[in-house]
Amino acid sequence: MGPPPVAGAVAVNFVPSGGGADVQASGGPVKQPPPQADRAMLHRTEHTRTYPCAACGGQLQFDIASQKLRCPNCGNYSEIEAPRAPVAARDLRAAIGELRALQATTAGPEVTGNHEIKCQNCGGTTSFVGSLTATRCPYCATPIQRDDVHNAPARLPVDGVVPFRIDEKNARVLVEKWVSGRWFAPSEFKKYKRLGSFASVYHAYFTYNADTYTWYQGEQGIEYTETYRDSDGDLQTVTRVRWYPVQGEVVNQFVDVPVLANEHTDRERIKTLEPWPIQDATTYSPEYVAGHLARTYDRDAEESLPEARSEMENEIEHTVRRDIGGDQQRIHSLNSTWNSLAYKHVLLPIWLLTVIYLDRPFNVYINGLTGEVSGERPWSKIKIAIAVTLAVLLVVVIVVLYMKFGHHSTGHGSTTTVHHSTHRR
Ligand SMILES: [Zn+2]
Ligand SMILES: [Zn+2]
C-alpha cells in the first residue's frame, strides 16, 4: 500500500534491497494538463507527473489489460486523457541542430524534474513516472540505490509510444513456457522467481523515414548451359553467363525503420523481437508509462542513424538488383540522393526477465505486443554430461545388439555425380 498522498507534492517511493524506507521528494504539480499541440521541442520545464486516484489518492498506473489507468490500492479505473493520435515525424537535421545548441549552452544536466535511475553496475538509465515500483535494475538485478536517482539531462523528446498489450499474467505464462522448454537449463534457472527481476520496460527507439533516388550502372547476366562429354565420356553440364551493360534509376521510400537506441543491452537478441507494429504508435503521454519503466536513449537520433542507413542501403541495393533483373547482376556504381530524412522517437514495450546465475545476469526479452520471446539460457554442465553419457550408452547398446544378432547386408547402389559449375566471366 502506498503512502498517504500529500497535496501539491510528488511522492517518490524507494524500496531499497534491505527494507521499505519511503522517501518523499516535493516539487512539481500533481497533475499536468493534457499535452498541447505546440509542445516545446525539448522537455526543459516539465515536471515529474503523478496521476492521483480520484477515489483514494493512490497513484494510478497504466493497466495493460484494460488499457486504462488503474489504482493498485482501490481498483478504481480512470480513462487515459491524452487523445490517441498518429505520431508525426521530425526533420532530423533541424531537431539535432536544436539539441546540440541546447547541449552546448547548458552546463551539466537540466533540472527537468524528470527522474532517472542510473544503474551503477551496468550503466543502464531508466526513467519513471510517479512512484518507482522497481527495486532492482531490470537489466542486471542490482538493487536500486536512492542515490541512483537524478534529474534528466537535455534530451530529444519522446514522440510516440506503442502501449503494452501483453499484461504481466500473460507475460509470465510466456516466459514460463520458454524457460521450461529449455531442456538443458539448470533447475536453478527454472526457479527464476526467487532469483530474478521481472519488469515491464519501454525501450527507446528511433524510427526513420527517408526518400531516396538512386542512379546506377552495372551489368545484367543471362545464364545459359552447355553440355559436353569429358575425357571419360560422361555427360557434363556447365552454366555460363553472358553479361550486358545496363544503367538505370530507382526510387525507394522508407517508413519507420527502427533502431534500438540503448547501449549495454543484448542488441542482437532484442533485434529478433522485430517486427514492431510501429504504425500503431500513438502520441506520447506519460500516462502510458505510469507504473512501468522507460529506458532512456543512450544514442540520440543522429548517433543511431548509421544503423538505419546501412539497412536502407542494403534495401537500395536489392532494389537495384531487381531493377537490373536477369539471372545475375553486377553493380559498378551506385549514387543515392537522400531527399528527406525524418525520425520519430518512439517507446516500444518489452517484458524483461533477468536471472542471476553463477554471478552473471541472464536476460530474457518478450515483445510486449506480439509475445515473441528471445532469451539467453545457461547450459547446465551436469545435464549436458548426463545427456552425452546416455547417448554414448545408446550407441554401445546398438553396437552390442548388432554384433550379437548378425548384420543385414545393404545393397550397393550406384551413384551418379552431376557436375554443375558456374563460371563468372
Ligand atoms: Zn484508489
Ligand atoms: Zn543494471
Res 270 pLDDT > 80: yes
* Count of other CB atoms within 10 angstroms of residue 163: 22
Q: In a 10 Å sphere around its CB, with 0-12 CB exposed, 13-18 middle and 19+ buried, how is residue 145 labelled?
A: middle
pLDDT at 421: 41
Nearest-ligand number for the alpha carbon of 361: 2
Rounded distance from Cα 122 to ligand 2 centre (Å): 4
Nearest-ligand number for the alpha carbon of 121: 2
By mean pLDDT, which of 30-44, 72-86, 104-118, 341-355 is the weakest? 30-44
Rounded distance from Cα 118 to ligand 2 centre (Å): 8
Rounded distance from Cα 68 to ligand 1 centre (Å): 13
Res 114 pLDDT > 80: no
Rounded distance from Cα 74 to ligand 1 centre (Å): 4
Between 103 and 299, the higher pLDDT residue: 299
Mean pLDDT of all residues belonging to the chain = 79
Cβ pair 313, 112 in contact under 8 A: no
Residue of 50, 209, 201, 21 whose CA lies nearest to 114: 50
What is the C-alpha to C-alpha distance for residues 345 and 206, in angstroms, rounded to an integer?
5
Cβ pair 301, 95 in contact under 8 A: yes
Rounded distance from Cα 265 to ligand 2 centre (Å): 10
Written as nine digits, the cell of 158 is: 519522446
Rounded distance from Cα 269 to ligand 2 centre (Å): 17
Rounded distance from Cα 345 to ligand 2 centre (Å): 23
Mean pLDDT, residues 366-381: 86
Mean pLDDT, residues 86-101: 91
pLDDT at 189: 62
Strands 420-423 and 235-260, how do they pair? Answer: parallel
Tell me the pLDDT band of 178, cut-offs 50, 70 and 90.
confident
pLDDT at 259: 97
Q: String of b and e for 69-100 (b: at least 16 CB within 10 Å)?
A: bbbbeeeeebebebeeeebebbebeebbeebe
Cβ pair 349, 244 in contact under 8 A: no
pLDDT at 213: 97
Cβ pair 351, 198 in contact under 8 A: yes
Res 266 pLDDT > 70: yes
Residue of 281, 287, 302, 303 whose CA lies nearest to 347: 281
| Phi, psi dihedrals of residue 319, rounded to the nearest 5° | -65, -40
Cβ pair 92, 303 in contact under 8 A: no
Which element (helix H / strand E) includes 326?
A: none
Nearest-ligand number for the alpha carbon of 123: 2
Tell me the pLDDT band of 147, cut-offs 50, 70 and 90.
low
Q: String of b and e for 217-241 (b: at least 16 CB within 10 Å)?
A: ebbbbeeeeeeeeeeeeeeeeeeeb
Nearest-ligand number for the alpha carbon of 69: 1
Rounded distance from Cα 76 to ligand 1 centre (Å): 5
| Phi, psi dihedrals of residue 16, rounded to the nearest 5° | -65, 165
pLDDT at 361: 82
Q: In a 10 Å sphere around its CB, with 0-12 CB exposed, 13-18 middle and 19+ buried, how is residue 143 labelled?
A: middle
By mean pLDDT, which of 193-197, 214-218, 244-248, 403-407 is the weakest? 193-197
Nearest-ligand number for the alpha carbon of 73: 1
Between 315 and 15, the higher pLDDT residue: 315
Residue partners of 265: CB distance under 8 A and separation at least 6: 124, 139, 203, 363
Residue partners of 82: CB distance under 8 A and separation at least 6: 34, 35, 282, 283, 285, 287
Nearest-ligand number for the alpha carbon of 54: 1
Q: In a 10 Å sphere around its CB, with 0-12 CB exposed, 13-18 middle and 19+ buried, how is residue 305 labelled?
A: buried
Written as nine digits, the cell of 94 is: 533541424
Res 136 pLDDT > 70: yes
Rounded distance from Cα 143 to ligand 2 centre (Å): 8
Rounded distance from Cα 157 to ligand 2 centre (Å): 24
Res 219 pLDDT > 50: yes
Mean pLDDT, residues 199-207: 95
Residue partners of 45: CB distance under 8 A and separation at least 6: 112
Rounded distance from Cα 76 to ligand 2 centre (Å): 33
Mean pLDDT, residues 402-413: 58
pLDDT at 12: 28
Rounded distance from Cα 138 to ligand 1 centre (Å): 27
Which element (helix H / strand E) includes 412?
A: none
Computed over its alpha carbons, how large is the radius of gyration of the chain?
29
Res 116 pLDDT > 80: no
By mean pLDDT, which of 87-91, 166-170, 277-281, 420-424 is the weakest? 420-424
- Give ∠ CA 90-93-96 in degrees, rounded to 5: 85
| 47-61, 123-137, 392-406, range with greatest mean pLDDT | 392-406
Task: Say what the pTM is.
Answer: 0.73
Q: State percent of the chain over pLDDT 70.
A: 74
Nearest-ligand number for the alpha carbon of 53: 1
What is the C-alpha to C-alpha distance for residues 178 and 138, in angstroms, rounded to an integer?
19
pLDDT at 211: 95
Nearest-ligand number for the alpha carbon of 117: 2
